[in-house]
Structure 1
Amino acid sequence: MFEFIYWLLSYVVPFLAVLTVIVFVHEMGHYLVARWNGVAIQTFSIGFGREVIGWNDKHGTRWRISAIPLGGYVRFVGDSNAASVTDADVVANADPELAPRLFANKNVWQRIAVVAAGPIANVILTFVILYALLLGYGRYTIPPVVGEVIAGSVAEAAGLEPGDVIVSVDGYVVRGFEDFQRLVATSPAREVTIELDRGGSAETIVLVPDVAEVEDRFGNMQKIGRIGVSRDVADTDVSLYRPGPVEAIGMTVEEIRFIIQRTAAFLGDFFVGRGDVEQLGGPVKVAKVSGEVATLGIIALINLTALLSLNIGIFNLLPVPMLDGGHLLYYLVEAVRGRPLSMKVQEIGFRFGFALVLALMVFTLFNDTIFAHFGILR
């Protein structure tokens, strides 16, 4: 019993706390833009399945907390299900007073705005969290000066030398050696471009980091990029840098751009056969990571919330029916054609999307449990 309680408090509670915040913000984005466009909203639900707690507001929307806390949805009047698939019969037979308020009867640009609002809300949440943490706590930094270049390493072959001051990597400004490490580490087996200052002269070096497998503080194995350099060992000063409010905006936007670009590169690896399936994670892995990060303190957990919020926003924009990106694809096609796709075509798309999302969920769950188990045994 004690072990179960410990597991519950250490992994499940942090995971559900993080997920609930992200889902609430995502669905609130859909809800607010729908309300601003006069859409009749039937249900706002955190979780799926049987209702546990619920109430109706003055606009007739049912707010509910459901039994399975692994997502949520906003359902509009005239939808046949929580995925916002239109019920053609309801729309066709709607009361004349209600008809203009049905989501299906809004113009295509209003529908695009409502659907895009969820992922955009996730991006805004990420920005607010990262910006607040940067202003409130600043960041510890070490001058980005190369100390040692390991003989026979990628760095030596590319021409890096001790004393080089790293200016940028792949267009991202390097403010400290920790930036340089992270930019290289997140590019295993991918070409990176390094801009540096060598004795007052600007130099450009292009190299491909080796893939190294390392163990993090929680015992998880991670594949990262390495080039074979260390920082200037004579420079042990660690300084706290606090940007101003305006500079912090630029730094936060750059951080979000970095996360999006590296996430896209990670997904792109699977299309060229370089992807590592063990790096994919579903609910079990996210719960595990949430529990591990929670041990580092509330700030670390808040930072994880920002990162997951952005990744969920990106995932939802994939052009797969059932996801927000699939709806957006349909509406963009409608905007170009001047008329919507037939209900039959949309239905086929939603069935395909459902099968794809379900397959991905099963695979990641299997990957989190079976693959991870045998990975440990290896």
Structure 2
Amino acid sequence: MCRADACRQSGCFDGCRCAGTRTCPCLAGTAPLSMLQTLLAFIVTLGVLVTVHEFGHYWVARRCGVKVLTFSIGFGKPLLRWQRGEVSWQLAAIPLGGFVRMLDERESPVDPADVSRAFNRQTPIKKILIVAAGPVANLLLAMLLYAGLFSYGVDAIRPVAGQVAPASMAERAGFRAGDLITAINDRPVASWDEAFVALLDGAGDAALVQLAVQTASGRHETRLLPLGELGRSVYEPRLLIRLGLTPYPLTTAIARVEPGGAAAKAGLLAGDIVVSLNGKPLAQWADLQAALQSGAVPMSLAVRRGDHVRQLTVTPAPVEVNGKVIGRLGLEPAIDKALWQSYQTRLQYPPLQALSASLKKIGIQTRLTLVMFGRMIVGKASLDQVSGPITIATYAGESARLGLSSYIEYLALISLSLAVLNLLPVPLLDGGHLLYHGVELLTGRPVSPQVEAIGQRIGLTLLLALMALALFNDIHRLFLG
């Protein structure tokens, strides 16, 4: 899915259907992303996040009097190693994580003079502080990055309905093109990003979500969206498309025709203006999209080309989307540039307000992430939302190409996700170790090696299953879109 601010949460358009992984109006004219750019952005992203995470463990361990032996960025064979004081610093071959190795009697014999500095000899409180320091470091990084962005200013798109799809949930709720969403469940929203997150956060198990709207004429009204009807699909990136909303003020002019597509075969050209569909005037592009829901049914289009109007018959190509066969023309509509410009805004706050906005964003994103995990476990959200290294690399590259602000925002989001993931009470993760040390704090004795070994096997199985699922989803997105 395109990660530009303009369409990050609404999906992209490939002609008359939401395609998600294809081109989109906000990126028209940009060069394709090179593999080298993507790889470089991915390495920088992982390098920063892993270094910050492991430095959190390292910094607190040193202050708790624990001897640190190795600080490694990456796993496997060291490519570069240097000694500084007691610590061996290294860069390893597999850049998918890192570790801080501390003195521990459970791993190897310890010199009697250093026994008091072994990790296993520390109090439960110190162990908890050391283990928690990694995720906390990632949380602090996300907080500072978001605060910096809000202080500098973030370009965003006001939550205005550019178009409303006919017969969609949004239209049935009363939405019309030009409606500005001002609040969702009494939470003010200033951009489509905020609106998307508020919709997900407000959905939960509620049957209806309340949206405060200012119409194009200036009236203040309320819309009720029955998001419960969407089931698991409410937690998908294309939520706005499913609701029938798009931020783009699309015109009936054609911006691009896909070579070899149904429209190109019928003779349609970029620059044509579609004036009628099957003999009826075409008021908005959404009407053409709605007609394509009937499948590969031939349609008659009248198009204005220069000073002349031409009648063309086109048969859409059949494609399957969510188990339903719809039609595809292979067209991209042009955007009303004046309206689109009026939708642009810049969110900028004084330093203290920027910090407050950062904390609020982190709180919402954390709660939403945990809700998503819970719903995937009980089957109320689709498992195809899990992403792996290929998707992360792709989004890192795209955000880097879009500019420093977009990349920093993406870095903050991944740092926050890494912190939340690591705090889950799963053995092998920091959250699993926190669970062990919490038990030790309550019982007064460490968890037995046998229990730890069983937990390690369970944790390894869960993580391998999660990695396999993430890789499967990555490959599916890469080849099937």
Q: Using structure 1 for the length normalisation, give the TM-score.
A: 0.80
Give 1:61 deviation, angstroms. 0.9
- 1:123 matched to 2:142? The reply is no
Letter in 2 for 1:25: V
Give 1:63 deviation, angstroms. 0.6
C-alpha distance in structure 1 between counterparts of 2:385 and 2:460, whole Å: 23
CA displacement 1:190-249 (0-9 Å, x = unmatched): 64633637899996956317659x9xxxxxx95324434578988936443421112112
C-alpha distance in structure 1 between counterparts of 2:74 and 2:419, whole Å: 17
C-alpha distance in structure 1 between counterparts of 2:201 and 2:166, whole Å: 22
Match of 1:336 in 2: 442
Cα 1:206–1:109 change in 2 (3 A) is farther
- Decide which of 5, 9, 17 is 2:44's aligned counterpart: 17
Match of 1:208 in 2: 227
Give 1:274 deviation, angstroms. 3.2
Cα 1:299–1:145 change in 2 (3 A) is closer
C-alpha distance in structure 2 between counterparts of 1:242 and 1:182, whole Å: 19
Contact kept, 8 Å, 1:210 with 1:227, in 2: the verdict is no
- Decide which of 169, 176, 191 is 1:154's aligned counterpart: 169
Cα 1:327–1:41 change in 2 (3 A) is same
Letter in 1 for 2:195: F
Contact kept, 8 Å, 1:54 with 1:63, in 2: the verdict is yes
CA displacement 1:2-38 (0-9 Å, x = unmatched): xxxx854122111011000000000000010111101
Q: Using structure 2 for the length normalisation, give the TM-score.
A: 0.64
Give 1:62 deviation, angstroms. 0.6
SS state of the match for residue 322, structure 1?
coil
C-alpha distance in structure 1 between counterparts of 2:41 and 2:398, whole Å: 9
How many residue pairs are counted as aligned between the two chains?
352
CA displacement 1:51-70 (0-9 Å, x = unmatched): 11111122x11111111111
Contact kept, 8 Å, 2:202 with 2:209, in 1: the verdict is no
Cα 1:291–1:148 change in 2 (3 A) is closer
Structure number with the higher helix fraction is 1
Letter in 2 for 1:372: R
Match of 2:462 in 1: 356
Match of 1:106 in 2: 122
Match of 1:217 in 2: none
Range moving further from structure 2, 190-199 or 249-258: 190-199
Letter in 2 for 1:169: I
Give 1:328 deviation, angstroms. 0.4
Letter in 1 for 2:64: N
Cα 1:140–1:365 change in 2 (3 A) is closer
Cα 1:146–1:14 change in 2 (3 A) is closer
Letter in 1 for 2:198: L
Cα 1:238–1:50 change in 2 (3 A) is closer
- 1:375 matched to 2:469? The reply is no
- Decide which of 264, 269, 282 is 2:370's aligned counterpart: 264
Contact kept, 8 Å, 2:168 with 2:244, in 1: the verdict is yes
Letter in 2 for 1:272: V
RMSD: 3.5
Contact kept, 8 Å, 1:167 with 1:174, in 2: the verdict is yes
Contact kept, 8 Å, 2:60 with 2:133, in 1: the verdict is yes
Uncovered stretches (5+) of structure 1, i.e. residues with no partner: 1-5, 80-85, 215-220
- 1:70 matched to 2:96? The reply is yes
Letter in 1 for 2:394: K
SS state of the match for residue 49, structure 2?
helix
Larger Rg: 2
* 1:226-305 alignment runs, 5 A limit: 226-228=242-244, 236=342, 238-305=344-411
Contact kept, 8 Å, 2:185 with 2:202, in 1: the verdict is no
Contact kept, 8 Å, 1:197 with 1:203, in 2: the verdict is yes
Report sequence identity in percent: 34
Contact kept, 8 Å, 1:188 with 1:211, in 2: the verdict is no
